[in-house]
Amino acid sequence: MIYLQLFYEFFKAGLFSVGGGLATLPFLYDMSDRTGWFTYDQLADMIAISESTPGAIGINMSTYAGNLTAGAFGGIVATVGLVSPALLLIIIIGRFLTKFRNNFYVESVFYGLRPASTALIAAAGFSVVWMDLFDVSSLLDAGDWLGFINWKSLILAIFLFFIMRHRLFKNLHPVIFIALSALVGIVFQFAG
């Protein structure tokens, strides 16, 4: 039964997450809330691992989430569920788009989908920043304003933001920044 539910949940995410992998994040947050299959902290780990491994982020996250929920076969089921709508839609659109390419309604749909996918990606990015840089529970529980901000993450994010824009580092491959960030994360964990 869990496999059918995994397929269904990820099929829905794949069907409605217009704009690519990061657009699946709102669906994963909702899935976490409704099913309890994974926590927000585990979701943050999924994002980090999916971003730093080869492949499409949405597929990587569905595989990770499915594996976390129901083992290796769960990862396969979740991945198939996520990509099935895209495959079906591409087959259908590929057959009919050439006939309706200049159709007013088709152009209007694509015109409306662009800002929707932009908003989904922006909302997902904001959620990741909020989840990583701020700890609302420490503020609500103890009124701790200093504990509200994850200072190490904030400093690292600001440092990486500026160093990536410096002309000496602009042409470096993103893998270098990912590896350095992983190294800094290890140092931060051991330091404290």
**pLDDT for residue 138:** 66
Would you say residue 131 lies in a domain? no
Would you say residue 161 lies in a domain? no
Given phi > 0 = left and psi -120 to 50 = alpha, else beta, which region is 54? beta
Would you say residue 109 lies in a domain? no
Q: Token pair of 18, please?
A: 């217009």
120 closest CA partner among 5, 30, 8: 30
Would you say residue 137 lies in a domain? no
Would you say residue 182 lies in a domain? no
What is the domain range of residue 33? Answer: 1-103
d(CA 51, CA 63): 13
Report CA-CA distances (Å) from 84 to 12, 16, 61, 88, 189.
10, 12, 15, 6, 39
45 pLDDT exceeds 70?
yes
Query: Which position has the higher pLDDT, 8 or 186?
Result: 8
Q: What is the pLDDT of residues 48-95, one digit of tens each?
A: 888 878 878 888 889 989 999 999 999 999 999 999 998 998 888 777
Length of the chain: 192
**pLDDT for residue 108:** 86
DSSP H helix total and E strand total for the chain? 9, 0
Q: Which of 4-13, 142-151, 160-169 has the lowest mean pLDDT?
A: 142-151
60 closest CA partner among 26, 20, 88, 33: 20
User: Phi and psi at residue 134, in whole multiples of 5°?
Assistant: -130, 145
Would you say residue 89 lies in a domain? yes
Would you say residue 152 lies in a domain? no
Would you say residue 79 lies in a domain? yes
Q: Domain tally for the chain?
A: 1
pLDDT over 90 for what percent of the chain?
20
83 closest CA partner among 105, 101, 60: 60
